Structures are given as structure tokens and as C-alpha cells.
Structure 1
Amino acid sequence: MFFINKTKYTVNILRGDTGPEIVAFVNTHHYDCIVIGSRGLNQFQSLVLGSVSHKIAKRVNCPVLIIK
């Protein structure tokens, strides 16, 4: 038996600095949740480079699910 999921979704392509662009876009629209991936940097890389997914999670006005 097969089930077909009929979930509605949209794809938006943004240009610019990743974190601020996503935060600005999400905060000007209404979303129930954002799902974003994480590259899994080690502790030193995260300290030096920062993590886009964590920056987004701190600044958007909705729940964020970070997938590793």
C-alpha cells in the first residue's frame, strides 16, 4: 500500500548574505516552522566561523528545526 503526501510547499530563492536574508524573509512572512540543515562543524570551526543555522534560530520569530 502506498500513500501520497499532499503537503503544500513553496520554494523561494534568495540572494545575498545567507543568515540575514533568511531572517528578513521569514520575519516578513507567517510560517509555522522552519526546517534548516546543519553541516556539523566541530567546536573550533563553529567558534571561528559561526553557524548560520544557529544565527537564524536566534533571530526568527517562529520555531526552527535544525537537521544534522
Structure 2
Amino acid sequence: MLNLLSLIVGAVALLLAIPAFIPLLGWLNWVVVPLALLGLGLGVASRSRSGRNLNLVVIIVAILRLMLGGGIF
């Protein structure tokens, strides 16, 4: 059950991360990262690894986008 919740949170975070690649919408990654961290916590608490892996990918992509945009040094 926790894995399903983790997958749902990860999918929502991924859907929010897609428009964050548009210029001037990079600030949206500051919403995506904590949301994906919540999903990561749910994924770690479950037995399966798919939710955890999805949220890790979303976090990595969002942080890389923030680094490229100058949001994180």
C-alpha cells in the first residue's frame, strides 16, 4: 500500500516537473523536490522498490534543473 502511495506521489511530482523545464517556470522545482522527498519516504517504508526509484529519478532531475538554472550552487 505504501508503494502505491509512493508511486502516486512520484507521478504527481513528475507531472509537475515537466512544465518546470519551461523557462521562467524553474521555480516549480522548489515544489517538486519536497513532494518527491515525501514520496521517497513512503517508498523507503514499503517493501517494493519501484516507488522509491521513481522518486529518486524525479529528485535527481529536479535538482539538476535547479543547478542549471542557478537555483542551487
TM bracket (short chain)? 0.3 to 0.5
Q: Hey, which of these two has a bigger chunk of helix by percent?
A: 2
Q: Which structure has the larger Rg over C-alpha atoms?
A: 1
Q: Hey, which of these two has a bigger chunk of strand by percent?
A: 1
